[in-house]
Amino acid sequence: MPRPYPHEHALFSLRPYNGNELARRIIDHPNNSHNVSLCDGIPALDVGFHLRRNSSSTLAELGRHQHADIYLDGAHFSRTQCSFEIVVDTGVIMLHDRSSGGTTQCHASDGDDAAPFQYGRAQRKVLVQKDFNTVIGMGGTWNDLLQFELEWHRTPAETAEAIRKYNAQGYDVVENPRLATTRPATPPGRSAPIRCLRVHKLGSGSFGTVHKAIDVDSGEAMAVKTIKRPTGEQQQAKWEKMLEREVEILRKTKHSHIVEYIWAQVQGTGVAIFMSLKEGNLQSLIERGDHKPGIIADSVLPQMLQALDCIASNRIVHRDVKPENILYVTDRNDQSGFRFQLGDFGFAKSIADPASVAGTYIFMPPELFQGGSNTTKLDVWSLFVTMMWTLDTQGFRQNQNYYQSQPATVVQGLVRLVASPGGELSRIQRMAMFDPDHRASAAEMLVDLFPGIPLSNPQHAVPHTPIAPVEAPNPAPYALTPPVTRSKTREMQRNAAAAQHHVE
C-alpha cells in the first residue's frame, strides 16, 4: 500500500514521465513496494535520506541487481544503471550514469533547463535540481525506454540545508532487506570545458560580473567571473591583452594566500574565468561588525604580505589591493578564525609593462599621481591604507566617502600622520614611505615583523631598502579634516605617544 504522501525525508520523487508505461511497471514491482508514495495522487518512488544505511554519499542506486535501492526489472538495464549522489560541500545532488553502455540520459520537461551527459568526459555525472535536468531516461537506442520525471519537494536552498542537517545527524531509514553500500565516485579530471549553473551574483565591476556557480558535471561550487567582449576594435585589442594578462598571472601564482585559479574558457560573447569560491571579503567581514577589527588586522597583515611577496617574486604588481579584493575562508587554525587570499587580478600587470595608472583612488600611492613607475612597492602602500581602513584609524573607514571626494594629498596627509613616530601605525611606517625607493618591500616587512614566516625567495635574496630619514607629520589642513573626526583627531594627536595599535 503506497504512503499517502512522500516520505518526510524525501528530496524528490520519481514518477512516470508522460505516462511512461515501463516506469509504471517499475513502480508497481514488489521489490519497490516499500518506497512507493502518492505524489499529487500518482504513485511514485521516493528518493531521499530514508533509503540508505551505509553510504553517506549515495541517496539511491537504481539497477537490476537484487540489492539496488530502486529495482529495475528487465534486460535493458545494467546491474547498476545509475545512482543519485550527494555533494556535501555544495549541498547538491548529482545523477551518475553507471551503466556499462552509457544508457542513462537526462532531459528537461517543458519550461525547464537541461545539461545532458556530454561525450568525452571522464565520468558521466551531472547536476539535478528543481527546474534543471528534471527528466531521466534509461535503456533503448535513445535512452528513453524508461522515463521518470523528478518531482522535487524542496527548493535548491532547502535541499542544501537538508543535506547539511543529514550530514550532521543522519535520519532513520525505511526498512529494506536489500540495502547496499555504494562506493562514492572519484571526481573527474578537467578534460572538457566547464558547464555551470549560475546560482546568484556575488559582485560586478568595470571588467565583469562574478557569480557563484555549480559545475553541473561535478557538483563543485566555484566563482565564475564573466568578462564581456567590447564592441570597438581598439577596445577589443586592449580587452584581449588585459584578459590574457589576468589569466596568465592566475596560472603562475600558486600560493595559499592567493585565490586559486581553476579554468578559463570562451563563453558566448565573452570569457569566463573560474576560481575557487570564498565565503566573502574583508570589507563585508569588517562591516558586519561581529569580529574585532584588531584581531582581523593581525591576521590580514602577515597573510597579505605573503601574497604580495609571492607576486613580487614573479615581478607582478596587483595595482588594486583593497578590502574588497581580499577574500576569506574559515580557518580554525588561525587566531582570527580566517584565512585571507588576494583576489581580482583584473588590474594586475608585469612591472616590465609600460607604466599606466590603475586602481582605487584612496588606496593609490603618491607616485601614481606624479607620473611614477609601477613597482611592487605600489601594493605595499595600498596594503598600509587597507590596514588603516580595517582598524578605522582616525575614522578613515567611517569617513571613506569623504576621503574619496578629496584631493589625494588629504589621504596622504593622514597616512603621514598615523605612520609617524607615536602614530597608531608607526610600527609599519616603512610601508608608508612616500618615496617608493625608501619604502620597504613585502619581503622586508615579513623579515622585520614575522621572521618565522617563509618567503617566496630565500632571505639572502631579499633586497635591502635604505632606511630614509623619518618623515615628519604633515596632516591635511584642518578645514579638510572630516567633521566627524576633528575632535577625535586632536585628542589622538595629543595622546599619540600612548596610542595603542593592533598591528604587531
Which segments are annotated as binding site for ATP? 225
Distance CA 91, CA 30 (A): 32
Strands, DSSP E only, in 343-392? 349-350
Cell digits of residue 54: 551505509
Longest dimension (CA), the chain: 89
- Cβ atoms 63, 72 nearer than 8 A: yes
φ, ψ dihedrals at 234, nearest 5° = -65, -40
Burial (CB < 10 A; 0-12, 13-18, 19+), residue 356, is exposed
Distance CA 400, CA 361 (A): 11
- Cβ atoms 44, 38 nearer than 8 A: yes
Distance CA 167, CA 151 (A): 23
Q: How many C-beta atoms lie closer than 10 Å to residue 349's C-beta?
A: 22
Distance CA 425, CA 180 (A): 62
Distance CA 136, CA 148 (A): 5
Side by side, which strands form the sheet with 146-152? 36-39, 42-48, 10-16, 146-152, 135-138, 104-107
Strands, DSSP E only, in 176-232? 196-205, 208-215, 221-228
Report the helix count and the strand count for the chain, using DSSP H and E.
Answer: 10, 21
Distance CA 276, CA 348 (A): 19
Which of these, 387, 210, 389, 384, lies nearest to 287 by C-alpha position? 389
Q: Which residues are annotated as part of the binding site?
A: 225
User: Which bin fits 457, alpha (ψ -120 to 50), beta or left (φ > 0)?
Assistant: beta
φ, ψ dihedrals at 107, nearest 5° = -140, -175
Distance CA 296, CA 386 (A): 12
Q: Which residue is associated with the grid cell 586559486?
A: 260
- Distance spanning both ends of the chain, measured CA to CA: 70
- Cβ atoms 471, 433 nearer than 8 A: yes
Distance CA 216, CA 94 (A): 8
